[in-house]
Amino acid sequence: DAGVTQSPTHLIKTRGQQVTLRCSPKSGHDTVSWYQQALGQGPQFIFQYYEEEERQRGNFPDRFSGHQFPNYSSELNVNALLLGDSALYLCASSFPGTDTEAFFGQGTRLTVV
């Protein structure tokens, strides 16, 4: 079982650019959540996808958008990057209704310069 896999592991982008991060959930999981973790902070919830629909959203601007594919994998897109978007982006997968047992990937470290 490969667990939750994220790509790429590291990324450097310039202000104003757009970025796409990818996540493959743990086998058997159909719910994917995305989090942003700034240095020295806990993960902040961005949004959650289930059955290819955004089910819940945290307090993040519309520059952050996502998608879930029929195979349950997911993408996080961030437009018009700001320096403050530099963070570790985490993907977590779970069965519906069991987010208390969410499994996290290793994250994508995004640096905006």
Partner 1 sequence: QKEVEQDPGPLSVPEGAIVSLNCTYSNSAFQYFMWYRQYSRKGPELLMYTYSSGNKEDGRFTAQVDKSSKYISLFIRDSQPSDSATYLCAMGAGGSYIPTFGRGTSLIVHP
List of residues contacting partner 1 (CB under 8 A): 4, 33, 40-45, 48, 56, 58, 90, 92, 94, 97-107, 109
Nearer to partner 1, 14 or 28 (CB): 28
Q: Between residues 40 and 70, which has the closer beta carbon with respect to partner 1?
A: 40
- 7: phi then psi, degrees, rounded to nearest 5: -145, 150
CA-wise closest residue to 78 among 67, 66, 93: 66
Smallest gap from residue 104 Cβ to partner 1 (A): 3
| Cβ closest to partner 1, residue 66 vs residue 105 | 105
- Long-range contacts (CB closer than 8 Å, 24 or more residues apart) made by 59-68: 60/36, 66/34, 68/32
